């Protein structure tokens, strides 16, 4: 559907956006609070010569202060009108595309350097973006992303915490993560309905040899009924895999540390 505004009444141009009207279907909430923008750029700390890649530059709230510091910047923008504006700027390398179709491993190979990913992500596809980038972790220096606060809480949650979930295990497997800036709705135009936060994700140097498909299937089963003892859920899966293990099934999914899930997944032979 093409409804292009989130508020009531007549579509209204974004503050300082040269007449641009926010497209809801592209998850467009533009950062306008200069204090928050400065705080995020400080957290990113871009340096000359680094290969930064911004997902969803939009009207350039982060793009401008970042490219000022690192000289060249690659941006990935799906909105045709916004991409056309960005192309007028010689210091930007504009990829007009759906970020989920961009091969970042290839981009890193072409550049011959590791990438620093940044972006105030479109919230409607934030999880798919995180999973799209997961296999590229070895060509990435770090990622600074603005997401829904609730998603960031799940990403960084540890065992025993109510937010500890599939997302925690699937991402903590490959990244060290920390929440670096909290951002209220009023920092955006139009304001989103939820709180936001910037998370820093740093790929871990040592990663256990685990088939991500196996891990994903296993964690989905474990967390399918997070309040139940794992014997009832994961127990059946372990039997199906034909593995013997001393994994303690008298616990609930939310009590098991990431390392133990990884050790269990590593015991399952990869399909030929």
17 binds ligand SAM (CB under 6 A): no
Separation of alpha carbons 176 and 200, rounded Å: 8
Least spacing, CB of residue 1 vs ligand SAM, in Å: 15
62 binds ligand SAM (CB under 6 A): yes
206 annotated ligand binder: no
Q: Using the rule CB under 6 A, give the single segment among 56-64, 150-158, 171-179, 255-263 that binds ligand SAM.
A: 56-64
61 binds ligand SAM (CB under 6 A): yes
Task: Name which position in 76, 136, 152, 219 contacts ligand SAM (CB under 6 A).
Answer: 76
91 annotated ligand binder: no
26 binds ligand SAM (CB under 6 A): yes
Q: φ, ψ for residue 45 (rounded to 5)?
A: 50, 65
98 binds ligand SAM (CB under 6 A): yes
Binding site members for S-adenosyl-L-methionine: 29, 31, 56, 77, 98, 120
Binding site members: 29, 31, 56, 77, 98, 120
Contact residues toward ligand SAM (CB under 6 A) are 26-31, 55-59, 61-62, 76-79, 82, 98-100, 120, 122, 125
């Amino acid at each position: 559907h093409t409804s292009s505004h989130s508020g009531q009444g007549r579509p209204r141009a974004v503050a300082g956006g040269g007449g641009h009207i926010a497209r809801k279907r592209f998850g467009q909430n533009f950062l306008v609070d200069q204090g928050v923008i400065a705080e995020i750029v400080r957290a990113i700390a871009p340096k000359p010569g680094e290969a930064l890649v911004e997902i969803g530059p939009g009207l350039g709230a982060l793009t401008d202060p970042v490219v000022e510091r690192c000289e060249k910047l690659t941006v990935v923008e799906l909105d045709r009108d916004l991409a056309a504006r960005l192309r007028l700027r010689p210091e930007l390398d504009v990829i007009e595309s759906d970020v989920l179709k961009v091969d970042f491993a290839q981009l890193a190979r072409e550049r011959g350097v590791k990438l620093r990913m940044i972006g105030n992500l479109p919230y409607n596809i934030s999880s798919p973006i995180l999973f799209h980038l997961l296999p590229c972790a070895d060509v990435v220096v770090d990622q600074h992303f603005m997401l829904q606060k609730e998603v960031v809480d799940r990403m960084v949650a540890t065992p025993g915490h109510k937010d500890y979930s599939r997302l925690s295990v699937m991402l903590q497997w490959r990244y060290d993560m920390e929440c670096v800036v909290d951002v209220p709705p009023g920092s955006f135009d139009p304001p989103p309905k939820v709180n936001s936060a910037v998370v820093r994700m740093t790929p871990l140097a040592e990663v256990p040899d685990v088939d991500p498909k196996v891990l994903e299937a296993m964690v989905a089963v474990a967390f399918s009924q997070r309040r139940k003892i794992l014997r009832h859920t994961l127990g059946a899966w372990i039997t199906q895999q034909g593995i013997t293990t001393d994994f303690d099934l008298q616990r609930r999914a939310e009590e098991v540390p990431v390392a133990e899930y990884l050790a269990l997944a590593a015991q399952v032979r990869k399909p030929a």
